[in-house]
Structure formats: structure tokens, C-alpha cells
Structure 1
Amino acid sequence: MAAEALRGLLGRVRYEVLPARATEEKVLAHVPRDIVVTVTASPVKGLEPTLGLTERLAAHGYRVVPHLPARLLRDDTHLKEVVERLRAAGVDDVFVPAGDADAPAGTYDGALPVLRRLGELGRPFEHLGITGYPESHPLIHDDITIQAMWDKRAHATYIVSNLCFDPRLLGDWITRIRRREVALPVHVGVAGPVQRAKLLSMATKIGVGESTRFLARHASWFWRFARPGGYEPERLLERGAEAFTAPSAGVAGLHVFTFNQIAETERWRRALLDRLR
């Protein structure tokens, strides 16, 4: 039963990628068309790389979910332009976090005002994702993140849990949000099979200022990857399988943070599926 449940989760994955120069080529070479691809956005580079990669991958037949961080939207006009551009590309799903930009680019300082404005625009996207935090946010108190998720639930259609390495914490968090009557489907965020050296290399390529923030806020990630017998995604899934697959959990699938190790992630998924058979 555990193997069958894990196979089900591995068949419902979303791959998160960064809009780097080689990302499109890597996705085309290694990601099947039935896997959803989500594209992050950088406070250093802005939304344009995200929108451009989204349009190109959608034209190749992928279902693409761009990240639209509220703090990267300049104003209402900018939001409308982005909506029109994505709808023209056939996008029906967006993910709206607050974003990590130190200062907002314009009038939106959090996700909730953007979600409300999208509602006023007639809900142009069929699917709309928001962030959940199984572990504490590096800058925001837990009470605030929980209240924010409650406030946003009426505007969203699903939740993506932020990266977490502890299956017990993930399971407890899912239980807590269900007790608070947050019923949105959850995509459980897990890291793919990423080596510490490659993670560090990725961090240093995303911009000097952003790299500093990334390393400061996620120092524990490197320890998790580097320590002896450290992080292995299949071990997290095996230990969390019961919690993730319980009917009451409402887990829709896995959101895999690839850190642009796209080929390695898909090889890992296929190899694990083979072993589970």
C-alpha cells in the first residue's frame, strides 16, 4: 500500500525551475509534456525572464505555472498587462507569493491585494496557488503566515507548501491547517536529489544581492544536503507517505524544487517509480 501511494504521488508532480539561459533546453530534453512546470521569478531580474520562459514552454505544449510575486508588480496597469500576456499564451494557472524583494516595486506589498484584484478582474485564471509554511518563515512570524493563508483561501484554488525536510513537520502542518478548516488542496513541496555543490553554484548565479539573501535565509539547507547521510528525497517521501496520502490530508501531489537540476530530478523520479514497481 505504501509503494502504491508513493507511486501515485510521483505521478502527480510539478517541477519548479528557475528562468535561466539553459532552462528551456533542459525542460525540452528531459521533462515529459504531462508534467506541470512552474517558473520562479527573481527580485533581481524582474518578471520578464519568467514571462518569456512561460510563453516559450507553453508554445511547446507544456502546462506552465508562472510565479507572480506581488512585490514585483508595479501597479494595476502592470498587473493587467501581465494577465493579458499570460492569457494570450494559454496559461490557466498562476502562483502568487508575496515575493522576497526587499522593497516592493510598486503598490502591492503582499499577495492578498493581488489576489483580490484578480478577483475584481473576473478571476482570469482557473487555478491560483498560494504559499504555505510548514516551517517558520525567515522574516514573518508564524501567526501572521497562518492568518495570511486563512485570509487568502477564498481567492485561491490550492496551496504549495514551502520547502521542508522533515516529514513529521509536514504531516503535522497539514493536520493543523485542516483543523483550521483550510480545505484547499495541498501540493507538498520537496527538494529533488540536489547536491550541495550544485545548490551553492545555483545560488551564486542568481545575482549578487539575491544570492546574499538566499544564503542568509536558507543556510540550514546546505547543512541538510551536506551532512553525512543527509537529505534524500525518497526517504522523506517514504517516512511521510502515510501522512501525505491519508484522505483527510487533501494532498494533490508533489511540488518538486529542482534548483534547475532538471535531468537529475527526472532520472530520480523514473528510477524511484521503477523500484516501487
Structure 2
Amino acid sequence: MRDDPATLTRLLSTVRYEVIPTATVESRVRDAVPPDVTVTVTASPTKGLEPTLDLTERLAAAGYRVVPHVAARLLAGEAHLAEVVDRLVRAGVSDVFVPAGDADPPLGPYDAALPVLAQLSALGNPFPRVGITGYPESHPSIEDDITIQSMWDKRRHATYIVSNLCFDPRVIARWAVRVRRRQVPLPLFLGLAGPIDRAKLLGVATKIGVGESTRFVTRHPSWFARLAVPGGYTPDSLIRNVAKALRSPEVGLTGLHIFTFNQLAETERWRQDLLARYAR
């Protein structure tokens, strides 16, 4: 089956770059990321929400569309959530991503995303756009039937879904079909790892912290195995194969959520090269 340049161009034109709040990432964003690309900012289970909020405020002031990760397990309670909401609204943020997060134990009473989503609704839906996580593959610590029920429950509070990392286009396609069969109509963003080599990834992992790096490796051992083999993983081949598997407009993807691991210049160069290729 041939590639569909129009679909691939649309996906590559509707992208979100996920970044990790480190000391140098703001300058990397300013140097490499066009203003029409949305930047999402992760939350660290060891450093808390403050680095996420601080970077979000600075990038928003610079004119970027910024989506902070408001991890449920990093919230101390309703008062803390209200403070975070007020701070983000004052910064001009209109889109948040609400995962459960990895902090163990949780900082406060929230151990999952749904209670935080419900509280945001109770606060009058201060953000027009709210994202949640989808799991094409099994969650490492949550049963599949729970994630399915959770997505159904969260659909009332969210406006879009970002798929977690998965490297099998057939699995991703089957998951997207199942989401629609469950009558969940939310737009779907394909989460995928960007074009990063193993040495650079390990360098970023060192900056993130040993604990978080260990958690990432534990959850995604197949990715590291693929990175060790030349040609074992390329994001463009994954996008092409997923697009081929999802021809139905009722199931199609809205855009791409790219895990950049702060390799922003490389990611943007890769995206522009692909856009130029499909334009030809």
C-alpha cells in the first residue's frame, strides 16, 4: 500500500513537542521550535511541579503555545490544584495534559487522573483543552480493563487523547479502532519517540535523574533494544505504517505528540525534511 502524502503532511503539520524541564531547554526551544508548534512540558516525580510551571510561564511569555503536564500524584490537594490553575490561567495557558504521574507515594490525595479531571470540571473548566493518556499496549502497573473503564470515565472531562509510546503500528491501529468502538470520540494524537540516537538519549536520561531513567527503561525496554540495532527504529517509518493502517476517517489521527527528549533541533530538522519530501 502506497504512502498517503496528504495525510502524512497533515500529521507532520499538527505536532506537539514534549520537552523535559532542564536548565538548557528554554534556549533550545527558542532556537529550534517554530511558534506554530505546541510545546508540552513534562512533570518530574522527584522535582515536583515547580520546574514544569516555571518553564511553562517563561515559554508562554515568549509567545509559545505551552501545555504543562499537571500530574495528579504531584498535587497536594484541592487548594494546591486551585493555585496551579490560577497560576497557569494568569500565564495565558489554555491547554493542560493530566496524567496520573509516577510519584510513589502520591504527594496528596490524588492517585489517578480522573479525580483531578473531575475537580477541574468543578472549578468551571478553566482550560478549554484538556488531554489524557491512552494506552495502546498494557500499562505496566494497571490492568487493561481498568484503563479501558478509566478512559470511558475521563472522556466527559477531556478534549483529546495522547497515545503512550508504542512501536507496533498494528497494535496502535487496533487500539484506535477499539477507542472508537467504545464510543469515545475524542481526537487522537499519536505519541512517538523522535529521531534521537542512543548516546544522546542516555545523556538526557542522566540529567533527568537515575530514578526516572530507571523507570523509563523498565517501561520501554523494547525501544532501547531497537536503538541498539542500526535501523531498528525510525519515527518516519512508524508514522507511515500507522497512517496506512488507519485509512478510515472515523478512526484517523489528529496529529503527532513527539517525545523529543530535548533533542529539539534534530527533531525539527527531521520534521522539515519529511515535509519537504512529501511536498515533492
TM-score range relative to shorter protein: over 0.9
1:240-266: per-residue Cα shift (whole Å, max 9, x none)? 213345311142111111011111000
SS in 2 for 1:247: coil
Aligned residue for 2:191?
Answer: 189
Letter of the 2:145 counterpart: D
The reply on whether 1:232 has 2:230 as its aligned counterpart is no
- Deviation, 1:201, is 1.7
How many equivalent pairs are there?
A: 277
| Residue of structure 2 in register with 1:274 after alignment | 276
**Contact 1:2 1:242 (8 Å CA) reproduced:** yes
**Correspondence 1:132 to 2:130:** no
| CA distance in 2: counterparts of 1:242 and 1:53, whole angstroms | 37
Q: Distance in 2 between matches of 1:192 and 1:210?
A: 19
1:9-88 counterparts in 2 under 5 A? 9-88=11-90
Where 2:250 maps in the other structure, the secondary structure is helix
Question: Aligned equivalents of 1:237 and 1:209: distance in 2?
Answer: 30
Q: Which runs of 5+ in 2 are unaligned?
A: none
Q: For residue 210 of structure 1, what is the aligned residue in structure 2?
A: 212
Q: Report which stretch shifted further, 137-146 or 264-273.
A: 137-146
Runs of 4+ in 1 over 6 A off after TM superposition: none
Structure 1 residue 72: Cα displacement: 0.2
- Partner amino acid, structure 1, of 2:126: P
| Structure 1 unaligned blocks of 5 or more | none
How far did residue 216 of structure 1 move? 2.1
- The separation in 2 between residues aligned to 1:146 and 1:122, in whole angstroms, is 26
The secondary structure found in structure 2 opposite 1:270 is helix
- TM-score, length of structure 1 as denominator length: 0.97
Tell me how far 1:22 sits from its aligned partner.
0.7
Aligned equivalents of 1:201 and 1:96: distance in 2? Answer: 27
Give the TM-score normalised by the residue count of structure 2.
0.96
The residue that corresponds to 2:181 in the other structure is: 179
TM-align CA RMSD: 1.2
Match of 2:178, SS state, is: helix
Return the alpha-carbon distance in structure 1 between the equivalents of residues 46 and 17 of structure 2: 22
**Which is further off, 161-170 or 80-89?**
161-170
